[in-house]
Chain A
Amino acid sequence: MSAAIEVRGLVKTYGPLAAVDHIEFTVESGSVYAFLGPNGAGKTTTTEILEGLRRRTEGEVRVLGLDPWKQGYALHQRIGVIPQDFRFFEKITPKEGIEYYASLFGTHPDPQELLQRVDLGDKSNSRFDTLSGGQKQKLGLALALTNNPEVCFLDEPTTGLDPQARRSIWEVIRTLRREGRTVFLTTHYLEEAELLADQVGIIHHGKIIASGTPGEIIRAHGRAERLVFEAPAALGSYLRSNLGTAVEIHDGRVEVPLESNRDALRVLSAVESSGIAWQGFTTKRDTLEDVFVRMVGPMDEGALKSETPA
């Protein structure tokens, strides 16, 4: 598999401030790469450099083998970009917008089919200024596909969408991947990255602090699988002294890390022997969000969003 995007030693400074500080990553062709980070971490700056919209200070960047800044015109024929907060000509309909982009690119997509693909088929003749925020975002996605792109840059494509619309966008992203296209996805929704991405990169203060598959990141930076009991702190103290493991005691919860599956039997046996009453137990494994929060630390409200799985 060849690399669709290669970044080596990328730096972007604004005066004394390094918005992007010597980052490196590779995105394989045909894969979905999720680029995560809190607000101000350098996500958008990096993405815009890859899209050829912003000049880098130093480092090597290649997208489809092209330098995005110097060969932007050629690159833009082969990529699709949906920016955050997509804006368009207010009095133009989605169908006319697709026809406009198709004429500019010299392609011949079926506008109705493309709009249906992003769940916007019933709004094909509504003017842009009458569309909701989510519908505008979907039009941005449809327009980004007008030139049949090899690489799609999707900058928070599901922000502000209702759960159903979000899932329809996820389905489009899965389809893009199945069609062999590369997707570079920035998102605030961590389970979105976990569900869709083959590879994840987490950027913080301009540096990449974790990268790999979601599983690799969780294994490398997350905690081990745990048994979680709804029980008084006394149970935690008992297990701590009898098992010799790092038992965590929270408010009404006792968490016991497991080295292996057989550990679970030993823990349950010890719980039974304690004679202390308990209500129930579950097993818990760290999610990407747990890892993200632990690595990036507490953030401002709104910097990270999560959706409760349906």
Chain B
Amino acid sequence: MNPRRIFADLKVVVRSYLRNPVALFFSLIFPIILIALFGTIFSAGGSGAVPLAVENLDHNSPTSVAFLAALNNTSLVKVTLVNYPVASFSSQLGDNGYSVGLLIPAGFQANYTNRTPVDLTLFTNPENGAAAGQAEGAVSGIANGFNLRAVCGGGSCAPVIQVPPSKNIGSQVYTYIDYLIPGLIGFSILTSPMFSMVDIASSYRKEGIFRELSLTPLTKSEWLLSRISWYVVLTFITAAIMIGAGVGLFGAHVEITLGLVPYLIVGPFLFVALGMLAGTVARTPESAALIGNIITFPMMFLSGTFFAVSMFPSGLQVVAHVLPLYYVIDGMDQVMLFSNTTRALFDVGVVAILAVIVFALAVRFFQWRDVE
């Protein structure tokens, strides 16, 4: 392993890249477009029904079910039943990307029938005022309707269902854009090296460039490390652009710590090697592109890039957990949003081990010269 040769090759890579306007566009402008596009689509509050996570502790009693049906009919909220531990209901809402949540207590129906006052607990995200206001209006409105229908006793019609002031979600509140930033950084860590390396692996072989490099002292490992170095640099630049665009355009809240650095290194490391391995298996540029797409597209959509994996159906969640990109994005979520060091370390460990294995396989199977 000779650093001089790696640096010499890296210079050629950087020059080639900087002289390619299309590559530059995709590296520098495309991340901003992605953030702007998805941020605009999904962060716009106040329009349409707000997703409302509901934990029904009254075991789907007819009254609670009727209450939720009435809520759903308002078109102001879209009820999704969840089953989070009550103690961590508030933080679970934040972890799973909900801006509003509702807790229906046990005994809701009995209290309503006996006209004993009962509290509904509404959780909102003050950062998303529009969604909070919409949900508060809907829940209070339906509660008032139910209260009016309650039979008044002794000339007194004191409200039975009460909606105290809402509580804040979690210890910290998150908006969609906060989740989107780690997801899109992961998207970039995956797609940029994968598509490029798959193409390079087959086209360099076809054009005889690998053959020419094999006649120099540059080794396969050195060549691959120079590519990895470049994609690590590119990933840092892309991540900075995405974070800047997310904060600047949408007021995103993400924690920028040194804990992010390992992901910006092992992520590109893994996907450069994986792209090379995929391109090595393919015999033609056409089949290389196909193999690249087969590997990349499921990861692109099922690893929590655009939506939290916990919102997927359980079958897809199982699939997500075998995709390497899931651990990159989940790890960055833990670092940038939840400050969960234990899980972040686990995630980076998984990615690092995979990266070493895939790198070794790529170096083993990637041929400079024709054996036959």
- Check B208 against A76 for contact (C-beta < 8 Å): no
What per-residue 1/0 map shows which CB atoms of B361-372 lie under 8 Å from chain A?
000000001111
B149 located at the interface, meaning its Cβ lies under 8 Å from any Cβ of chain A in the complex? no
B5 located at the interface, meaning its Cβ lies under 8 Å from any Cβ of chain A in the complex? yes
What per-residue 1/0 map shows which CB atoms of A43-67 lie under 8 Å from chain B?
0000010011111000000000000
Q: How many residues of B contact A (CB 8 A)?
A: 25
- Check B216 against A96 for contact (C-beta < 8 Å): no
Give the residues from 217 to 263 in chain A that come closer than 8 angstroms, CB to CB, to chain B.
none
> Considering only CB atoms, which chain B residue lies closest to A144 in the complex?
B215
Of the listed stretches A99-107, A165-173, A184-192, A278-286, chain B binds A99-107
Chain B residue numbers with a CB within 8 Å of A127 are: 19
Which one, B7, B207, B216, B369, contacts A87 given CB within 8 A? B207
Which one, A48, A73, A89, A101, contacts B209 given CB within 8 A? A89
- Check A73 against B217 for contact (C-beta < 8 Å): yes
Asked whether A88 and B209 contact (CB < 8 A) given A53-B369, A53-B370, A100-B11, the answer is yes
Report the bound CA distance from A37 to B127 in whole Å.
Answer: 79
Report the bound CA distance from A89 to B204 in whole Å.
Answer: 9
- Check A103 against B8 for contact (C-beta < 8 Å): yes
Which one, A89, A90, A105, contacts B216 given CB within 8 A? A105
Give the residues from 19 to 56 in chain A that come closer than 8 angstroms, CB to CB, to chain B.
48, 51-55
Q: Smallest distance from the beta carbon of A47 to chain B beta carbons, Å?
A: 12
- Check A88 against B216 for contact (C-beta < 8 Å): no
- Check B370 against A103 for contact (C-beta < 8 Å): no
- Check A91 against B20 for contact (C-beta < 8 Å): yes
Chain B residue numbers with a CB within 8 Å of A77 are: 217
- Check A104 against B218 for contact (C-beta < 8 Å): yes
- Check A104 against B208 for contact (C-beta < 8 Å): no
Give the residues from 61 to 91 in chain A that come closer than 8 angstroms, CB to CB, to chain B.
72-73, 76-77, 79, 81, 83, 85-91
Report the bound CA distance from A79 to B4 in whole Å.
Answer: 21
Chain B residue numbers with a CB within 8 Å of A88 are: 209, 212
What per-residue 1/0 map shows which CB atoms of B77-106 lie under 8 Å from chain A?
000000000000000000000000000000
Report the bound CA distance from A52 to B372 in whole Å.
Answer: 12
- Check A96 against B15 for contact (C-beta < 8 Å): yes
Chain A residue numbers with a CB within 8 Å of B114 are: none
- Check B372 against A92 for contact (C-beta < 8 Å): no
Chain B residue numbers with a CB within 8 Å of A103 are: 4-5, 7-8
Asked whether A92 and B16 contact (CB < 8 A) given A104-B5, A104-B216, A105-B216, the answer is yes
Chain A residue numbers with a CB within 8 Å of B209 are: 87-89
Chain B residue numbers with a CB within 8 Å of A81 are: 212, 215
> Considering only CB atoms, which chain B residue lies closest to A13 in the complex?
B372
B116 located at the interface, meaning its Cβ lies under 8 Å from any Cβ of chain A in the complex? no
Chain A residue numbers with a CB within 8 Å of B214 are: 53, 72, 76
Asked whether A85 and B15 contact (CB < 8 A) given A104-B8, A104-B218, A105-B217, the answer is no
Q: Smallest distance from the beta carbon of B366 to chain A beta carbons, Å?
A: 16
Report the bound CA distance from A207 to B88 in whole Å.
Answer: 82
Chain A residue numbers with a CB within 8 Å of B11 are: 96, 100
Asked whether A83 and B217 contact (CB < 8 A) given A91-B19, A92-B15, A104-B8, the answer is no
B29 located at the interface, meaning its Cβ lies under 8 Å from any Cβ of chain A in the complex? no
Chain B residue numbers with a CB within 8 Å of A92 are: 12, 15-16
> Considering only CB atoms, which chain A residue lies closest to B17 in the complex?
A91
> Considering only CB atoms, which chain B residue lies closest to A104 in the complex?
B216
Give the residues from 185 to 218 in chain A that come closer than 8 angstroms, CB to CB, to chain B.
none
B211 located at the interface, meaning its Cβ lies under 8 Å from any Cβ of chain A in the complex? yes
Which one, B5, B16, B371, contacts A89 given CB within 8 A? B16
- Check B215 against A90 for contact (C-beta < 8 Å): no
Give the residues from 1 to 28 in chain B that come closer than 8 angstroms, CB to CB, to chain A.
4-5, 7-9, 11-12, 15-16, 19-20
Report the bound CA distance from A105 to B215 in whole Å.
Answer: 10
Chain B residue numbers with a CB within 8 Å of A52 are: 369
Q: Identify 15 new A-B residue pairs, CB closer than 8 A, beyond the known A52-B369, A89-B209.
A: A48-B370, A54-B370, A54-B372, A73-B217, A76-B215, A83-B212, A87-B208, A88-B209, A92-B15, A92-B16, A96-B11, A96-B12, A100-B9, A104-B218, A105-B216
What are 13 contact pairs spanning A and B, CB under 8 A? Answer: A53-B370, A54-B369, A72-B214, A72-B369, A79-B215, A87-B212, A89-B209, A91-B15, A91-B20, A96-B11, A99-B8, A105-B217, A106-B217
| Interface residues, chain A, with chain B CB atoms under 8 Å away | 14, 48, 51-55, 72-73, 76-77, 79, 81, 83, 85-92, 96, 99-101, 103-106, 127
